[in-house]
Amino acid sequence: MAKIIMGIKLQERAQSAVEVQALLTKYGCEISTRIGLHVASSESCSTQGLIVLEFIDDAEDRVAEFEKELLGVDNLVIQKMIF
């Protein structure tokens, strides 16, 4: 049983956020924890963002499908840790 943590860096949030959000919704049942980080202020909003995901146990196949679909979205950097 593997514990999978994934980080997704959105290089251009405005261009990729809608596609990424649709995929997060599609695979939402496999995600146990989601943390979104970006710099925001009253004057501006960062063009970059970072999403950290923890997946449920025994979701390796669905995580692989999710990652494959993410690779089709421009301006993302994806990293995983598997324990």
Q: What is the pTM of this model?
A: 0.91
Rounded Cα–Cα distance for residues 6 and 55 (Å): 8
Q: How confident is the model at residue 42 (pLDDT cuts 50, 70, 90)?
A: confident
Other C-beta atoms lying within 10 Å of the C-beta of residue 32: 12
Output the pLDDT for position 38: 81
Mean pLDDT of 28-39: 93
* Residue type at position 69: E
Domains of the chain: 4-82 (3.30.70.1150)
**CA-CA-CA-CA torsion sign (62, 6, 54, 73):** negative
